[in-house]
Chain A
Amino acid sequence: MKGKYEEKPFKRDRRQFLKAAGITTAITISGLIVSLKPIRAETSANTAGKRFAMVINIEKCIGCHACVASCKAENNVPLGVFRTWVEEHEKGEYPNASLFFAPKLCNQCDKPPCVQACPVKATYRREDGLVLINYEWCIGCGACIQACPYAVRYFDPVKHTADKCTFCVQRVDQGLHPACVDTCVGGARVFGDLNDPNSEVSRLVSTKRVMVLKPQLGTEPQVYYIGLDVSAAK
């Protein structure tokens, strides 16, 4: 059945075709690998060798919400979302009743599930312990928000990326304290370097009975609480 279809025989046979296709694919893939972006691991020179942590003394918190207000002002936090908040908890029944406050913020975990979950390395943990977000890289998938057991992450309705408390990295890098710490009227929030044995946080963490939120999850939070009631330890 030598047909007329043989008149214009294809020069390339199947093997050559596949070879050419294979080479093209290989070149494309290697090009992609070469163009892989390096991980951004910026660490400020001022904070080298430090490990930041915060201690919150519940018994000193008077519930004035000044920390929330200063955080909003310092970090331009949009309405409806919070980098820090203060919970009000009531306990007991009259006459044996009491009211206490529980400030919450990003725990800057040593083993952050958000960093583990981020598909594009947009969120990362610096050597000084700060868990930060690269807003240029965030694709807004929400994996970190879902992965955070403390619900401290949110979608920023203006930037359209995930966002959260950064311990005021812009202040910390200049040797200042986070805005919430400086503004706290009762001195309930203490910020400092755990690597420095003379710092206030080191002293409190080693001499007081402290607890962290959801320790069973193995996230190793770096926000320690003094006097937190079990009902608010969520």
Chain B
Amino acid sequence: MVGYVLPNEEVYWGILIALYPMLTGIVAGSFIVSTLYYVFGIERFEKVSRLALIISIAFIVSSPLPLIADLKQPSRAFEIYLTPNLSSPMAIFGYLLVSYVLLMVVEALLIYSAFFVNKANLSAGIKRVFYRALALGRKKISEEGLKRDKRMIKGIALIGIPVASLFHAYVGFVFGSMKAGVWWATPIMPVSFLISAIVSGIALLIVAYVIAEKVSKGMVDRDLLNHAARFLGWFIILDLSFQLLEILFRSFMRYEEWLVVQEVFFNKLATSFVGIQLLFGATLPLLLLIVPSVRRSSLWVSVVSIIAIIGVFAYRWNTVIGGQLISRTAEGILEYSIPIFGRFGLVTAISILFLPLFIIMILLLIVPWKIEVKVKTIE
């Protein structure tokens, strides 16, 4: 600790809380990509629309874990439903989570409805009951029913866009509304969080698509890749603009905290902030994406996407941890070192990070991401 630091000050929110906006960001970003097909009808993205939704569901189911693990009283986590303080953005989280999970599950069930109906009709016993339940009790599908489903999916996905935005922007609001934290308190935070979320969502989807295509021995769709990469590029530009605006304004206005902000972000955290978040994680992928041949190579686009994901994680890290390094006095700097073991440590964080990947694999065992769902009607 350097300078004027108050005695109770320490970094109370550690790596788990830095991980949390990473997970919700992927949820929101991935969902928004899936709506490109389901709402806006861009046929090109049909191929990844189901995969995007599966990723989104897997990450949203995992997203409360780092939060619960970070509670000092995890057994009381459910209290946010029982005694919610409606003036607290955190209390809204529980309700948003439940409604969003419901929305996505219903959307997924409708999308796979025809698949489940066929599966149920082709299997027997407990399997039949399982698929029948997933098909919401439906026994047959008709062209007309499929059309109705499509309209419903479109409607649900449309509602899902503001819900997804709220779900992630609220995280930005939790930080942005903390007037006690000088680095956090900015109205740009929710917007900036949402945009970088979309970056991480598209990037993860690209990597997942390439892997899924390779695993199922299919051909990677170059045209799709090119467009997804362009999309990624545009959002990286937006993301960078908001981040640079923030710094530009702060350096120009020079409020009392500027000296410490400068010390923390351009000296102490220079590697993770300037190095990884701004240069390696955002500027480099942007420059690479300008090259047309990069956008068509599945290997290069994957590499660029992974770099962009690292950049977004650096952003989360620098926001959550970096913001807490600045003392309330605006005249001192705190210390933080990642604990390796223990409930709040690195091992927990990595384990939690693997959970959504595991869920994606389980979901892909139940439903296909790719196979064109054939309409099989029973007269």
Contacts and interface: CB of A to CB of B under 8 A. Distances in A.
Q: Do A and B come from one complex?
A: yes
B271 to A, nearest CB: 25
B328 A139 contact: no
A117 B88 contact: yes
Interface stretch (A1-9, A43-51, A93-101, A180-188): A1-9
A119 B85 contact: yes
Interface string B325-337: 0011111000000
B6 interface: yes
Contacts of A177: none
Contacts of B377: 1
Interface stretch (B30-38, B70-78, B187-195, B238-246): B70-78
Nearest to A17: B137
Interface residues of B, number: 48
A18 interface: yes
A60 interface: no
A14 B116 CA distance: 13
Contact of A139 (B4, B80, B121, B179): B80
A121 B85 CA distance: 5
Looking at chain B's contact residues, is the secondary structure mostly helix, strand, loop, or mixed?
A: loop
Contacts of A137: 76, 79, 83
B88 A143 contact: yes
A119 B73 contact: no
A149 B84 contact: no
Contacts of B138: 13-14
A161 interface: yes
A116 interface: yes
B291 interface: no
Nearest to A35: B82
Interface of B: 4, 6-9, 12-13, 67, 70-74, 76-77, 79-85, 87-88, 90-91, 93, 121-122, 132, 136-139, 174, 178-181, 324, 327-331, 377-379
24 contacts: A3-B378, A12-B137, A17-B137, A18-B136, A32-B82, A82-B7, A118-B88, A119-B80, A119-B93, A120-B83, A120-B84, A140-B72, A140-B73, A141-B71, A142-B72, A146-B324, A147-B179, A149-B180, A151-B7, A151-B8, A151-B328, A152-B8, A155-B12, A234-B328
